[in-house]
Structure formats: structure tokens, C-alpha cells
Amino acid sequence: VGRRSSRHDERAFVVEGTVLVAEAVAAGWSLEAQFTAPDTAPVAAPGVPHYQLASGVIERVASTDTPQGVIAVVNMPAGEVALDSVDLVLVVDRLGDPGNLGTVLRSAEAAGLDAVVVTPGSVDRFNPKTVRASAGALFRVPTITADLADVHDAGFRVLGTSSHRGTSHRRVDWSGRVAVIVGNEAHGLPDDTPVDEWITIQHRGRAESLNVAMAATVLCFEAASQRHDLEQRAGEHGADALDPDGDGA
Amino acid sequence: VGRRSSRHDERAFVVEGTVLVAEAVAAGWSLEAQFTAPDTAPVAAPGVPHYQLASGVIERVASTDTPQGVIAVVNMPAGEVALDSVDLVLVVDRLGDPGNLGTVLRSAEAAGLDAVVVTPGSVDRFNPKTVRASAGALFRVPTITADLADVHDAGFRVLGTSSHRGTSHRRVDWSGRVAVIVGNEAHGLPDDTPVDEWITIQHRGRAESLNVAMAATVLCFEAASQRHDLEQRAGEHGADALDPDGDGA
């Protein structure tokens, strides 16, 4: 399960390290098997076969320079969350770097987005570097495989991120069903990407000074903050309506 | 110059790769010497000694897995920008990870902060991993070595970042002379840190879901955006004052 093709043929991927394996278990992902170094305890996972490897074996199997003594083979989910069922999504279009995808997943989870959409042509979300950079967010934030036409057809207001043009991310309307797209590290989004509005993060210096993971982090938190403010205001009005006496009872 | 102690004894550090060396030169840093692999051209740097290394040597000297054929020994600046001369700074207190410090420098540059203050006990800003993660921002955003008492004494309004308490980063007043502190990856800022106000980035999930580099990115852009808005409004009022007829002439 080291290469993408075999990962997807087997519908399983490798998770390395006690912390990440425990997060997969805690988030309800099903483990195919668990392998440990001689001096390492497995993660508690009832019903999962556990194999202790001979000394030195796990270091040769692991993708990291400093394997932590536990490796799990984790099953990919049988299905995905439907695009129709989510309101605020980040879309990564042909993202190339596994570490960037991991950071994006982490930011999306922290900001409370409903899902991350990964277009075909992006790095595999089950790449070991992605799993590691996500700090376990991969197990908690839903990911959806879809192309940009699917996103458009699902009825989102589609915001395309540009390094140089568009509405400031501070001024754009983040309410309602919104899909915000970030593009490839080297090429960004093509000019003919089907978007409803282009947005940009104003910044100093060169276009490259803000990379895609940083941009996604800023956008996720801007969206979350603006929507939180809107909800609070709506909540205040709602409370008034439910409490016509205004006595808080 | 591979270890921190020898780097600082020599007042010089190593920069690896054509792109980063060219950025150091473009930003006006002085190079002590340049070393290249047999098949690689040096970066244009008038007056800098250039040594071509025998085949296979540069790979053994470089800290990266994939050295790019050019290594420069770069002189540390003789002095630093004074704390009194800057208005908006990010302070990293005992930051431990070189990659995080590099990302923080990159975000600070992109958001247009005046400087980054690094407290004693933090990872060396001239660590090769920091230089690389900063994508050259180290050469362009001023860095200042100072402790938290120095920052306080320099007259900043000091904002301390907490994972769990304080004013929302959206609601805090970012105007005037502001120093915002982010703490160590594992421990954050001590409760007795001398701050004028605690701030927090509201987020979903566990405290660890937002790491220090992501937090710094969000804070830098929030500060920059709010100050930009304030400047624009001040600019409008200023224009009124200078143009009492209101005719734009």
C-alpha cells in the first residue's frame, strides 16, 4: 500500500505512529491490521489483528525517517458525504504537494468547514505525508472527490481564489452555500475556471509570498468568523422572537 | 557553520539552493563565499569568491536531501532594526521548530508586518530549515532579538495569544503600536506573561487543532486587514481635510 495505485486497488492506506493511529480509531475508521516494533505497545483497537514485527523491520516499511513503532493499515471509507448535504466547503483543485493538502485539511477542520473537496489530479489525500501533515484532521473532516463542474452543479456560490485580482476576501459575502476554490501551487486556477466571483487576499510583496496552505488558512478562518458573526446576530434576533417579553425566560 | 554555536561564532550561516541564494543577494545580504557542484552555475554576485567543488562533495555538505547544486556562506547583519522604530510586530517566544519559524517569517512578510521579534530560547532564525521554510522572507522581513520585557518596555500594547481564553482576534483593537506574541509549540505562553490583553482565535475541535504557524498566519492577516481598513478611512478623512471644497481638486 505504498503507492497510490495499490492503495486504491486495496481500498486501504498506511497510517504511521501511535498518535495518528489512535486518532484514526477515535474517529471511527476501521483498521485492517496493526504492526508494531518489538518494544512498542499497539493502539487499543478491539478486533483488529496485531502483528509484532522482528527488530528493524518497521523502520524499513515506514515512509518517515523516524517511525514511531506502530503502523496500521486503515480501510478507506466505503462512501463519501454528498455535496448536496454541505454548506461551506473548501475546494482544492489539482493540489500537488501532500504536505499542503494536509495543512489545508487541518485548517478546514479547525475553522469548522463542512468538508474539503479534492478534484481529480490532486495529490492523494491518503498519501502518508498528507495524513501526517493533517495531524489527524483527515479522519475528522469529510473529504469529497468531485470536479469543479460537480461543485458548480451542486448549487454553491463558487468563489475562485486569485493571487492578483478579485474582491478582497474581507469584503466578499461568505453567507449561504459557498464553495471557495484554491488552485495548484505553481499555476493557480485557470482563468476560465467556472466561478461566480473571483476573490483575492491582499498582501505585500510578490505573488509567491503567500502559498496555497497559508491562503487556505486565512480564507477558512475569514469565512468561519464572518458566518459566526452572522449566526450570532441571527441568534440575537431569534431570541427576541422567541422571548417577546424580553425577560430572558 | 552547521551548528548554531559555530554559526554565531563565525557570524555567518549557510544558504542552500539557487533560488534562496539569489534572494539573499537581491535583498542585499553580503555573501562570504559561494560553492557549486560541477554542473551548476553560481548565482551572480559580484566580488564574492566562487569555489567549484568536486563531484559528490556538495551532497555531503548540504543539510537537505536534495541539494540544488549551490551553497552560499552568508554573513549575518551587523546590527538589527530598533524596537523603538517599528509599529506592528509579531513576537515568537521560545519557538522550537525551525519550519514553524520559517512559516511565521513568511506570513509576517506577506501581511506586511514591520518586524518579527525572536526571544532567546527560540530556534535559531539562521537554521537552514528556517531559511528554507521562510522561502526567503528571512532576508526581507527584519528580525529582532529581544525578550518579552524589552518588548513591554518599548511601549507596545502587548497582546498575548492563548488557545482557550481572551478577546476574539476579530474584536481586539489592532491599531497603534502593537506587539502580538505567540508561544512555544508544546506549552504556549506562561500564564504570567506580561501582556496588556489576552487574545484567542476561536476554532472548532481541540486546542491542538490550530498550530502556531497557522495561528500566526491568521493573526498577521487580521492585523494587516484591520489596519489597512483604518488607514483607508483615515485617508478618506484626510483627503476631506485637505480638500475642503470636496471637489477632488
- The answer on pLDDT for B237 being more than 70 is no
Q: Best interface-test mutation with B: which of A97, A203, A206, A212 has the largest number of B CBs within 10 A?
A: A203
- Residues of A with Cβ-Cβ distance to B109 under 8 angstroms: 204-205, 209
Q: Which three cell numbers stand for residue B131?
A: 531559511
Radius of gyration of chain A (CA): 21
- Residues of A with Cβ-Cβ distance to B140 under 8 angstroms: 205
Pairwise CA distance, residues B158 & B148, whole Å: 9
What is the per-residue pLDDT for A67?
67
Q: What is the pTM of this model?
A: 0.88
Q: CB neighbours (10 Å) of residue B104?
A: 31
Task: Using alpha carbons, select from B210, B213, B220, B217 the residue that is nearest to residue B95.
Answer: B213
Give how far B156 is from chain A: nearest CA, Å: 23
pLDDT band at B233 (very low <50, low <70, confident <90, very high): confident
Give how far B97 is from chain A: nearest CA, Å: 14
Rounded to two decimals, the ipTM of the complex is 0.86
Task: Using alpha carbons, select from B133, B65, B67 the residue that is nearest to residue B98.
Answer: B133
- The answer on pLDDT for A228 being more than 80 is yes
pLDDT band at A247 (very low <50, low <70, confident <90, very high): very low
Q: What is the β-pairing status of strands B197-200 and B115-118?
A: unpaired
Mean pLDDT, residues B15-22 taken together: 94
What is the per-residue pLDDT for B2?
63
pLDDT band at A239 (very low <50, low <70, confident <90, very high): very low
At residue B181, φ and ψ (nearest 5 deg) are -105, 135
Q: What integer best gives the mean pLDDT of chain B?
A: 89
Give how far B217 is from chain A: nearest CA, Å: 7
Q: Which three cell numbers stand for residue A52?
A: 509484532
Burial class (CB in 10 A: 0-12, 13-18, 19+), B229: middle
Which of A:55-114 have CB within 8 Å of B? 103, 106-107, 109-112
Q: How many cross-chain Cβ pairs, A to B, lie less than 8 Å apart? A: 70
- Residues of A with Cβ-Cβ distance to B106 under 8 angstroms: 209, 211, 214
Query: What's the number of CA atoms in the CB half-sphere (13 Å) around residue A7?
Result: 16
At residue B165, φ and ψ (nearest 5 deg) are -150, 160
pLDDT one-digit tens code per residue, B43-91: 999 999 999 998 888 887 777 666 678 999 999 998 899 999 999 999 9
Pairwise CA distance, residues A211 & B137, whole Å: 12
Q: Which three cell numbers stand for residue B106?
A: 513568511
- The answer on pLDDT for B246 being more than 50 is no
Please calculate the CA angle A111-A100-A94 and round it to the nearest 5 degrees: 105
What is the DSSP secondary structure assignment for residue B124, as one 8-state letter?
Answer: P
Give how far B58 is from chain A: nearest CA, Å: 22
Pairwise CA distance, residues A27 & A205, whole Å: 41
- Residues of B with Cβ-Cβ distance to A137 under 8 angstroms: 209
What is the per-residue pLDDT for B139?
97
Give the C-alpha distances (Å, rounded to integers) separating A71 from A31, A35, A163. Answer: 10, 5, 40
- Give strand pairing partners of A52: A36
